[in-house]
Amino acid sequence: MAESQHGLNWEDKKEQLFQRIKSISDRAESLHREIEYDMINLCSSKGKDMSKILALLKLQEDGIRVKTT
């Protein structure tokens, strides 16, 4: 019984760790996106045309894979 309980506890801890890692990853992705948009806004404010970059980011956010060279 102790072995069974230990196995369940391990699975629970593993799931908790996975959820924590997922949460950190989601937050990092969100921060990355914020930084990208801040950079686009900065470049736009300096007179650069960022419309193509903005369009690419929006496609990526919609789940469309964009090949860039």
Model pLDDT for residues 33-65, shown as the tens digit of each residue: 999 999 999 999 999 999 999 999 989 888 888
Residue 6 lies in a domain: yes
User: Does the structure show a pLDDT above 90 at 6?
Assistant: no
User: Does the structure show a pLDDT above 70 at 1?
Assistant: no
Q: What is the pLDDT of residue 61?
A: 86
Return all residues near 8 (Cβ < 8 A) that are at least 6 apart: none
Residue 15 lies in a domain: yes
Quote the domain boundaries for residue 56: 2-61
CA distances to 10, 48, 60, 62, 69 from 54, in Å: 44, 12, 10, 12, 16
User: Does the structure show a pLDDT above 60 at 9?
Assistant: yes
> Which percentage of the chain shows pLDDT scores above 70?
88
Residue 68 lies in a domain: no
> Burial level of 40, CB count in 10 A (0-12/13-18/19+)?
middle
Mean predicted lDDT score pLDDT of the chain: 89
Q: How many domains does the chain have?
A: 1
